[in-house]
Structure 1
Amino acid sequence: MAETPQMKSPRRAAVASWIGSALEYYDFAVYGTAAAIVLNHIFFPEDAPAAAVLKSMAVIGVAYVVRPLGAMLVGPLGDRFGRKFVMMLTLFLMGGATFAIGCLPTFDSAGLLAPGLLVLCRMLQGLSAAGEQASAISMSLEHAQDHQRGFITSWTLQGTQFGSLLATAIFIPFAALPEEQLYSWGWRVPFWLSAFVVVAAWLIRRRLHEPPSFTKRDAASRTPLRAVLAGHKVMVARIAVCAMVNTVNMVFTTFALSYATHAGIERTTMLWVPVASNLLGLLAIPLFAVLSDRVGRKPVFITGALASSLTMLPYLHAVHEQQIVWVFVWGVIMHGGFYSMANGIWPAFYAEMFPAPVRVTGLALGTQIGFAASGGLAPAAATYFAGPELESWLGPSLFTVAMCLLVVGAAVTARETARTPLSAIDERP
Structure 2
Amino acid sequence: MSTTADSAVESENPNSADKIADENLTVPRRRIVVASLIGTTIEFYDFYIYATAAVSVFPILFFITDSEGAALLASMATFGAAFVARPLGAVIFGHFGDIVGRKATLVGALLTMGIATFLIGALPTVYQIGLWAPAMLTIFRFCQGLGLGGEWSGAALLASETARPGKRAQAAMWPQLGAPFGFILANGLFLLLAWGFSYDSTAIRALAADDIDAALADPFLVWGWRIPFLLSIVMVAVGLYVRLRIEETPVFAKALEKKEQAKVPVGEVFRKNWWEIILGTFIMLATYGLFYLMTTWILSYAIGSPDDGGLGYNYMNFLVLQVIAIVFFAIFVPIAGRLADAFGRRRMLMTVTVGIIIFGGTFGFWLSSENIGSGADMNVWQMLLFLSVGMSLMGLTFGPMSAYLPELFPTNTRYTGSGVAYNLSSILGAALTPFVAVWLVQNYGVWAVGAYLAFLGVLTFISLILSPETNHKSLYTEEAAS
TM range (shorter): over 0.9
Pairing of 1:363-374 with structure 2 (within 5 A): 363-374=418-429
Q: Deviations over 1:317-346 (max 9, x none)?
A: 5443232111101211111x1111110011
Corresponding residue of 1:233: 274
- Please tell me the residue identity of whatever aligns with 1:214: F
Q: Give 2:8's aligned residue.
A: none
- Residue 283 of structure 2 corresponds to which residue in structure 1? 242
Match of 1:78 in 2: 97
Greater mean alpha carbon deviation, residues 205-214 or residues 64-73: 64-73
The amino acid that maps onto 1:230 is: R
Give the Cα separation in 1 of the matches to 2:259 and 2:117: 36
Range that drifts further, 298-307 or 21-30? 298-307
2:363 and 2:446 in contact (8 A); partners too:
no
1:395 aligned to 448, 464, 481, which one? 448
Take 1:53 and 1:168, find their aligned partners in 2: how far apart are those partners?
19
Match of 2:389 among 333, 358, 368: 333
Q: Is the 8 A contact 1:10 1:145 kept in 2?
A: no
Q: Which runs of 5+ in 1 are unaligned?
A: none
- Determine the structure 2 residue equivalent to 1:251: 293
- CA contact under 8 A between 1:151 and 1:286: conserved in structure 2? yes
Q: Which residue of 1 aligns with 2:265?
A: 224
Number of aligned positions between the proteins = 422
Q: Does structure 1 residue 43 correspond to structure 2 residue 85? A: no
Conservation of the 8 A alpha-carbon contact between 2:78 and 2:141: yes
Q: Distance in 2 between matches of 1:62 and 1:418?
A: 34
C-alpha contact 2:98 2:412 (8 A) present in aligned 1: yes
- Report if aligned partners of 1:10, 1:152 keep a CA contact under 8 Å in 2: no
Which of 335, 347, 371 pairs up with 1:287? 335
Q: Give the AA of the match of 2:234.
A: F
- Of residues 274-283 and 70-79 in structure 1, the stretch that sits farther from structure 2 once superposed is 274-283
Query: Aligned pair in 2 of structure 1 residues 313, 137: CA closer, same or farther (>3 Å)?
Result: same
Q: CA deviation at 1:134?
A: 0.8
Change (3 A) 1:207 1:190: same
Q: What's the CA shift for 1:378?
A: 0.4
Partner of 1:350: 405
Q: 2:89, 2:146 within 8 Å by CA — same for their partners in 1?
A: yes
Q: Is it true that 1:273 corresponds to 2:292 in the alignment?
A: no
Offset of residue 187 of structure 1:
1.0
Distance 1:310 1:41 in 2: 36
The one-letter code matched in structure 1 to 2:297 is F
How far is 1:6 from its partner?
8.1
Aligned to 1:158: 177
Matches within 5 A, 1:22-37: 22-37=41-56
CA contact (8 A) 2:167 2:341 kept: yes
- Determine if the alignment matches structure 1 residue 114 to structure 2 residue 155: no
Match of 2:431 in 1: 376
Number of the residue aligned with 1:149: 168
Letter of the 1:359 counterpart: R
Q: TM-score if structure 2 supplies the norm length?
A: 0.84
CA contact (8 A) 2:86 2:423 kept: yes
Q: Percent identity?
A: 29
What SS does the aligned partner of 2:166 have?
Answer: helix
Q: Does 2:228 correspond to 1:190?
A: yes
- Give the AA of the match of 1:199: A
Instruction: Render the CA deviation track for 1:171-193: whole Å, top value 9, x for unaligned.
Output: 11223434512211111111112
Corresponding residue number in structure 2 for 1:89 = 108
Q: Deviations over 1:129-158 (max 9, x none)?
A: 111111111111111112111011101110
Partner Cα distance (1:354, 1:226) in 2:
14
Distance 1:373 1:122, change over 3 A: same
Structure 2 runs not aligned, ≥5 long: 1-22, 205-217, 305-310, 373-377
Give the partner amino acid of 1:107: V
Aligned-partner Cα distance in 1 for 2:141–2:220? 21
- SS of 2:78's equivalent in the other structure is helix
Helix, strand or coil: the match of 2:58? Answer: helix
Alignment CA distance shift 1:400-1:358 (3 Å) = same
Between the aligned partners of 1:203 and 1:5, the Cα distance in structure 2 is 24
Structure-2 change in CA distance of 1:123 and 1:316 (3 Å): farther
- 2:215 counterpart residue number: none
Q: Which runs of 4+ in 1 moved over 6 A?
A: none
CA distance in 1, matches of 2:303, 2:64: 17
* Deviation sequence 1:229-268 (CA, Å, 0-9, x none): 1100000011111121201111111111111112111111
| TM-score (normalizing by structure 1) | 0.94
1-side partners of 2:352 and 2:141: how far apart? 29
Give 2:457's aligned residue.
404
